């Protein structure tokens, strides 16, 4: 089980690096391709759109085959198009490569989360899912800072070549260590797609999109926040990424503990409420060179307290088609990525400064808290109807 989780974590490392490293080298990409920073933010949105499209589509297609083989196929696709991203020399080429690179992301995490929960010891499902996501958080401690540094000092495309190498390592790890499992579906796509009729599932989808969008509204523009607002040297961005990644790593396991001690949906409400408060505070503290780094770590912690609980909430809402539901949540997560980057970019482009992105993020996180209470009331109402019918 440990080797299988390590293989999933390796994939999470590569996915985390390609998703987040671009935020640290956004100015370098913009300069190299002769575009503005908000325009370079479109590459973040393109990747996220790829995840949104690919997660349910590739999971549904792959449901006829054993999960271990599907995971290998997804990583091959991921490796090829991330490597090709490094050769892009124009806005439109990189935009297309980022979209194609994102297609297997959600399916890998979605299938991987369910596989992790199935091979875990009973009662340790949350920790197993957190172990898989630890690869993503470790990427923010190790991979993203290294990729950011090399991208700033030499050329931005080096980061994507590193992701390609990690992809190859993941392919071998999954092939060697992942146990063979039966297909996740009976083969009936119509039966799997019945989960789309569940209103609660769509409410969790909306919760993930809006709530996690608050994090991406801040993180998408962390580089200019560190340099333009706080006045740090560009080299400090790499160290800030390490702080953020360390916070994410800690928050990931804190979130798993919360999901074990309370219902996952309540753990999500606690995390998003904390995120809203910290993002609002950051608008006042970001001009301080010390406090901006303290808040970078703190926001990383609270933001990733959400990851495991919200994944479990979606799996619980997709009974019978857990892998498809789990993958759909990755689509929602990256809808949050795209919407957070886009909406936060609007006030920046309008001249309100980079801290305006944090106000957008706080509003999105707070909206997520409201949605958790709506979902809880829906569940209570559903339980009452079941009891009444009995």
Has residue 148 got a pLDDT over 90?
Answer: no
DSSP 275-289: HHHHHHHHHHHTTST
Per-residue pLDDT averaged across 311-334, rounded? Answer: 79
The pLDDT of residue 189 = 61
CATH classification code of 2-384: 1.20.1250.20
The pLDDT of residue 284 = 94
Q: Do residues 184 and 310 lie in contact, with contact meaning Cβ atoms separated by under 8 Å?
A: no
The pLDDT of residue 264 = 87
Has residue 141 got a pLDDT over 90?
Answer: no
- % of the chain surpassing 90 pLDDT: 30
Has residue 388 got a pLDDT over 80?
Answer: no
The pLDDT of residue 88 = 84
Distances (CA, A) of 83 to 14, 15, 111, 325: 12, 13, 23, 29
pLDDT digits (tens, 9 = 90+) for 200-252: 888 989 999 999 999 989 988 888 899 999 989 888 887 888 888 899 889 98
Has residue 270 got a pLDDT over 90?
Answer: yes
Helix (H/G/I), strand (E/B), else coil: 323? helix
pLDDT digits (tens, 9 = 90+) for 325-374: 777 887 888 788 778 888 998 999 888 889 999 999 999 999 999 999 99
The pLDDT of residue 99 = 93
Scanning the structure block, which residue is given the tokens 């590459």? 43
Q: Do residues 251 and 304 lie in contact, with contact meaning Cβ atoms separated by under 8 Å?
A: yes
Distances (CA, A) of 180 to 81, 119, 192, 268, 323: 27, 11, 22, 33, 16
**How crowded is residue 101: how many other Cβ atoms within 10 Å of its Cβ?**
30
Give residue 290's pLDDT band: very low, low, confident or very high (50, 70, 90): very high
The pLDDT of residue 235 = 80
Per-residue pLDDT averaged across 89-101, rounded? Answer: 91
Tokens of 299: 């926001």
Tokens of 298: 């703190």
Per-residue pLDDT averaged across 315-321, rounded? Answer: 75
Tokens of 118: 């199935």
Per-residue pLDDT averaged across 45-55, rounded? Answer: 84
CA–CA distance, 19 with 13 (Å, rounded to integer): 10
Dihedral pair phi/psi, residue 181, rounded to 5°: -135, 155
Has residue 188 got a pLDDT over 70?
Answer: no
Domain boundaries of the chain, sorted by first residue: 2-384
* C-alpha closest to that of 11 among 172, 236, 234, 180: 172
* C-alpha closest to that of 63 among 332, 334, 328: 328
Distances (CA, A) of 142 to 162, 240, 245, 307: 12, 12, 8, 19
Dihedral pair phi/psi, residue 74, rounded to 5°: -65, -40
The pLDDT of residue 187 = 53
Residues near 289 by beta carbon (within 8 Å), at least 6 away in sequence = 230, 231, 232
Q: Do residues 212 and 336 lie in contact, with contact meaning Cβ atoms separated by under 8 Å?
A: yes
The pLDDT of residue 331 = 82
Residues near 197 by beta carbon (within 8 Å), at least 6 away in sequence = none
Q: Do residues 319 and 199 lie in contact, with contact meaning Cβ atoms separated by under 8 Å?
A: no
pLDDT, averaged across the chain: 85
The pLDDT of residue 226 = 92
* C-alpha closest to that of 208 among 19, 357, 375, 21: 375
Residues near 145 by beta carbon (within 8 Å), at least 6 away in sequence = 24, 238, 239, 241, 242, 245
Q: What angle do CA 359, 355, 52 make, to 5 degrees?
A: 60
Residue 383: Cβ-neighbour burial (10 angstroms; 0-12, 13-18, 19+): exposed
Has residue 186 got a pLDDT over 60?
Answer: no
The pLDDT of residue 215 = 92
When comparing pLDDT for 220 and 270, which is higher?
270
Distances (CA, A) of 81 to 44, 97, 105, 166, 241: 15, 6, 12, 13, 24
The pLDDT of residue 45 = 79
- CA torsion angle 237 238 239 242 (round to 10): 120
- % of the chain surpassing 70 pLDDT: 96
Has residue 185 got a pLDDT over 60?
Answer: no
Per-residue pLDDT averaged across 38-53, rounded? Answer: 82
CA–CA distance, 193 with 211 (Å, rounded to integer): 25
Per-residue pLDDT averaged across 48-53, rounded? Answer: 84
């Amino acid at each position: 089980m440990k080797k299988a989780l390590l293989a999933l974590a390796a994939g999470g490392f590569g996915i985390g690096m390609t998703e987040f490293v671009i935020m640290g080298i956004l100015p370098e990409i913009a300069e190299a391709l002769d575009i503005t920073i908000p325009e370079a933010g479109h590459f973040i949105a393109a990747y996220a759109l790829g995840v949104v499209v690919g997660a349910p589509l590739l999971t549904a297609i792959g449901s006829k085959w054993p999960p271990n083989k599907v995971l290998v196929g997804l990583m091959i696709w991921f490796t090829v198009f991330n490597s090709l991203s490094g050769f892009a020399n124009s806005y439109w080429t990189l935009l297309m490569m980022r979209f194609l690179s994102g297609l297997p992301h959600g399916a890998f995490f979605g299938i991987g989360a369910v596989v992790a929960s199935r091979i875990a010891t009973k009662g340790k499902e949350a920790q197993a899912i957190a172990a898989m996501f630890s690869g993503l958080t470790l990427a923010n401690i190790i991979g993203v800072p290294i990729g950011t540094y090399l991208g700033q000092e030499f050329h931005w495309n080096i980061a994507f070549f590193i992701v390609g190498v990690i992809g190859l390592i993941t392919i071998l790890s999954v092939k060697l260590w992942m146990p063979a499992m039966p297909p996740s579906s009976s083969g009936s796509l119509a039966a799997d797609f019945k989960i789309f009729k569940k209103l609660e599932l769509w409410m969790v989808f909306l919760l993930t999109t809006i709530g996690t969008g608050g994090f991406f509204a801040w993180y998408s523009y962390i580089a200019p926040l560190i340099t333009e607002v706080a006045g740090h040297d560009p080299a400090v961005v790499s160290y800030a990424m390490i702080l953020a990644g360390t916070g994410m790593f800690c928050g990931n396991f804190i979130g798993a503990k919360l999901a074990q001690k309370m219902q996952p949906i309540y753990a999500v409400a606690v995390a998003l409420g904390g995120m809203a408060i910290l993002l609002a505070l950051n608008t006042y503290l970001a001009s301080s060179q010390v406090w901006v780094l303290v808040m970078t770590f703190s926001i990383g912690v609270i933001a990733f307290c959400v990851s495991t609980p919200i994944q479990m909430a979606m799996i619980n809402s997709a009974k019978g088609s857990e892998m498809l539901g789990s993958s759909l949540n990755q689509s929602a997560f990256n809808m949050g990525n795209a919407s957070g980057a886009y909406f936060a970019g609007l006030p920046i482009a309008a001249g309100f400064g980079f801290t305006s992105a944090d106000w957008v993020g706080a509003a999105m996180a707070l909206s997520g808290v409201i949605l958790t209470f709506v979902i809880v009331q829906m569940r209570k109402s559903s339980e009452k109807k079941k009891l009444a019918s009995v």
